[in-house]
Amino acid sequence: MNIITVVWDNLAWRSAFIAWAIAQFLKGFTSIRPRGFSWKHFLGTGGMPSSHSAFVSGLTTAVGILEGFGSTLFAACFVFSMIVMYDAAGLRRAAGKQAAILNKLIDELIHTGELKQARLKELLGHTPYEVFAGASLGILVAVLVCR
């Protein structure tokens, strides 16, 4: 049996991957742009819904369904998921806000002719709403895949 088949037959992996793929795909459409689909948001970090949250909640929910919500494996996945989602909404979000402030400073300096610097990436983290939407998507996908 080839490795791709073995991995795809793992329902926990399949749930996580499908949830991540749907979330990443949706990002291309959820950014507010008059021109429609955004490749920048489709391929990048941040945005709605959180694909990190969808990925880990899809995995955690599938493990809970398959191994039991009282299992040690579920507990480990749950803790891992909380750390990932906290990071997405907390630390990475703060880094994105700092990048926005630095970019504003750089723009002001460029207009005065005193400094030329590359812009920093601002869309690093997620709002709590984006994390919740990603987590909800992951749970829904895992329930559908593992039923």
Domain ranges of the chain: 3-90+125-146
C-alpha–C-alpha distance, residues 126 and 140, integer Å: 20
Q: What is the predicted pLDDT for the residue at 105?
A: 75
pLDDT by residue for the chain (147 residues), tens only, comes to 788 888 888 999 999 999 999 998 888 776 655 566 665 555 666 677 888 899 999 999 999 999 999 999 999 999 999 988 888 777 766 777 777 777 777 777 777 766 656 665 655 567 777 888 888 888 899 999 988
Is residue 49 within 8 Å of 137, Cβ to Cβ? yes
Determine whether 103 is exposed, middle or buried from the number of CB atoms within 10 Å of its CB (0-12, 13-18, 19+).
Answer: middle
Q: What is the predicted pLDDT for the residue at 38?
A: 60
Q: What is the predicted pLDDT for the residue at 75?
A: 96
